[in-house]
Amino acid sequence: MLFEGLELVSALATLAACLVSVTLLLAVSQQLWQLRWAATRDKSCKLPIPKGSMGFPLIGETGHWLLQVFSKIFSHEALQSYLPKIRLVIQDTLRAWSSHPEAINVYQETQKLTFRMAIRVLLGFSIPEEDLGHLFEVYQQFVENVFSLPVDLPFSGYRRGIQARQILQKGLEKAIREKLQCTQGKDYSDALDILIESSKEHGKEMTMQELKDGTLELIFAAYATTASASTSLIMQLLKHPAVLEKLREELRAQGILHSGGCPCEGTLRLDTLSRLHYLDCVIKEVMRLFTPISGGYRTVLQTFELDGFQIPKGWSVMYSIRDTHDTAPVFKDVNVFDPDRFGQARSEDKDGRFHYLPFGGGVRTCLGKHLAKLFLKVLAVELASTSRFELATRTFPRITLVPVLHPVDGLSVKFFGLDSNQNKILPETEAMLSATV
Ligand code: HEM
């Protein structure tokens, strides 16, 4: 009896300890998230963090006008106009990877690729390649220190983060000013053009500080998440050659890849991509099993009840995307990489609104999700049609989840081109990009 009593006390103590640690963990992570804004935002910036959210302040501006702007930035027409540019950046990158004599670090390289895509395509900056490389290094320093304690001491992470932000903002200001002066020779409107134009239309012309903060946040939202998903995509195609082959079959059937293996000439359009159903399943499955972001935070605006538990107003709550995907009853064999689960015959994601949410859910769902999916699809099409790639290590690396999901050593892969041109970097690519962007 005494023994049972002791067991109960010990179980209760463990439960209490767990609850305390979870609460502490939540409190600390919430604080860190809030500190992020201390480190990333300039004090002169007046854009408020939206009520109940710890999300991206830019989008939370009152009056919903910014939401309308974002719906334009990621509209079907806008995506169609970004598509050839995204493809060019990806093709150029794959050529560079294939020409590299050694294996490349895929996670590092996809970070450069998404940064390049954000700067060149989304923001339309024509920064010379060398300056872009420097900006990328500074950006990495900024991201590494985003979650640092706000102690402004020499050599502290916080100081390094602030310094990186200042350099970045200088670079961005220069690029924005150049862009505002030179609008000729462009064949499409990028996200920054749309932001500037629409803010004028809504009578809210944005200050230079707001523009710099806005662009920095757009890059922040796009960069690590898309690099994480791109790396996971490459890793899964390496792990599952049958999936890659099935993808190639689909590309052949749709006339994107010749039966001999080389890619067909011609432009890739959004409607062509939307006919590639298996491709869609592959991307969905990568995002289910390897969701880049673990979850999101919210501040409770109104007391509510969930499964018999009362959640009081003012509390911070976190919703877990990863746990949702792991426990959702709609997915069979949750740990198996199986793109066909999203195929027409099974459609495992069709039941329930909140079982599958790699891009979050509700009113603060990811605004760049269509762009992210488009980028991943083009990357998969180009990989399947123009590249051969092999794992350069004996085993696949371990995965870590922080700050976004990625392989511990970055994933070492050797790329080879499929045709004779593949190993050459074409000088005209750069010229084409700067002429159009
Ligand atoms: C695979 C890539 C991506 C993933 C997995 C992803 C995921 C997410 C998630 C889960 C959220 C919601 C966070 C929350 O609930 O608080 C979010 C928000 C957001 N994402 Fe993405 N994202 C990706 C790419 C992008 C891209 C490319 C852009 C834009 C260029 C973007 C822009 C945003 C913005 C602006 C928000 C804030 C929405 C708001 O607060 O209302 N994302 N993203």
Ligand 1: centre distance to CA 367 (Å)? 6
Query: Does any domain span residue 136?
Result: no
Query: Does any domain span residue 258?
Result: yes
Residue nearest to atom 39 of ligand 1 (CA): 364
pLDDT of residue 316: 82
The pLDDT-based confidence of 424 (bands split at 50, 70, 90) is very low
Supply the range of the domain harboring residue 309.
41-126+182-434
Residue 220 has pLDDT above 80, yes or no: yes
Instruction: Looking at the structure, tell me whether residues 297 and 394 fall in a common domain.
Output: yes
Instruction: Looking at the structure, tell me whether residues 11 and 98 fall in a common domain.
Output: no
Dihedral sign for Cα atoms in the order 174, 176, 372, 386: negative
Pick the more confident residue, 198 or 398. 398
Pocket of ligand 1 (CB under 6 A): 55-56, 59, 122, 218, 221-222, 225-226, 229, 292-293, 296, 358-360, 364, 366-368, 371-372
Ligand 1: centre distance to CA 366 (Å)? 4
423 near 244, Cβ under 8 Å? no
List the CATH number of the domain containing 385: 1.10.630.10
Closest CA to 176 of 121, 118, 220, 125: 125
Instruction: Looking at the structure, tell me whether residues 29 and 118 fall in a common domain.
Output: no
Residue nearest to atom 19 of ligand 1 (CA): 366
Q: Hey, which of 366, 373, 379, 406 would you mutate to test ligand 1's pocket, going by the most ligand atoms within 8 Å of its Cβ?
A: 366
Pick the more confident residue, 29 or 66. 66
Q: Hey, which of 64, 225, 230, 363 would you mutate to test ligand 1's pocket, going by the most ligand atoms within 8 Å of its Cβ?
A: 225
The predicted model gives 394-412 an average pLDDT of 93
The pLDDT-based confidence of 100 (bands split at 50, 70, 90) is very high
Share of residues in the chain with pLDDT > 90 (%): 48
Residue 409 has pLDDT above 70, yes or no: yes
Pick the more confident residue, 256 or 26. 256
Residue 422 has pLDDT above 50, yes or no: no
pLDDT of residue 43: 52
Closest CA to 78 of 334, 348, 368: 368
Instruction: Looking at the structure, tell me whether residues 339 and 312 fall in a common domain.
Output: yes
Instruction: Looking at the structure, tell me whether residues 119 and 9 fall in a common domain.
Output: no
Instruction: Looking at the structure, tell me whether residues 208 and 91 fall in a common domain.
Output: yes
Ligand 1: centre distance to CA 38 (Å)? 20
Residue nearest to atom 13 of ligand 1 (CA): 296
Instruction: Looking at the structure, tell me whether residues 24 and 60 fall in a common domain.
Output: no
Number of domains in the chain: 2
Instruction: Looking at the structure, tell me whether residues 6 and 74 fall in a common domain.
Output: no
The pLDDT-based confidence of 39 (bands split at 50, 70, 90) is very low
Q: What integer best gives the mean pLDDT of the chain? A: 82
Ligand 1: centre distance to CA 405 (Å)? 15
Instruction: Looking at the structure, tell me whether residues 388 and 321 fall in a common domain.
Output: yes
Query: What's the whole-model pTM score?
Result: 0.85
The predicted model gives 267-280 an average pLDDT of 93
Residue 426 has pLDDT above 50, yes or no: no
Ligand 1: centre distance to CA 397 (Å)? 26
Query: Does any domain span residue 64?
Result: yes
The pLDDT-based confidence of 423 (bands split at 50, 70, 90) is very low
Residue nearest to atom 7 of ligand 1 (CA): 359
264 is in an annotated binding site: no
